[in-house]
């Protein structure tokens, strides 16, 4: 039941521009994390997917690529 609620709220946040889809793979995120730690920095996401065009987002959504929602 909660999953349906989360999907609805996630879609609303994306529509309002308060959140966005992230299509980064676990491998890419792990590389970012390791690189940051190697440089003695705090690991953090680089917001790569925040600036995807609507065409890129649509293409990835229709390709059924794994995704998450980021704020």
Half-sphere exposure of 68 (CA within 13 A, CB side): 9
Class of domain 3-70: alpha beta
* 13-23 average pLDDT score: 97
Q: Which residues pair with 69 in a beta bridge?
A: 21
Q: What are the sequence ranges of the domains in the chain?
A: 3-70
State the average pLDDT over residues 7-23. Answer: 96
Q: What is the pTM of this model?
A: 0.86
* pLDDT at residue 1 tops 90: no
pLDDT digits (tens, 9 = 90+) for 35-65: 999 999 999 999 999 999 999 999 999 999 9
Mean pLDDT of the chain: 96
Read off the pLDDT of each residue in 8-29 and give the average, rounded to a whole number: 97
């Amino acid at each position: 039941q909660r999953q349906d609620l989360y999907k609805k709220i996630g879609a609303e946040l994306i529509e309002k521009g308060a959140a966005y889809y992230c299509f980064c793979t676990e491998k890419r995120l792990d590389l970012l994390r390791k690189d940051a730690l190697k440089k003695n920095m705090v690991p953090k996401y680089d917001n790569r997917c925040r600036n995807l065009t609507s065409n890129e987002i649509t293409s990835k959504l229709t390709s059924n690529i794994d995704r998450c929602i980021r704020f």
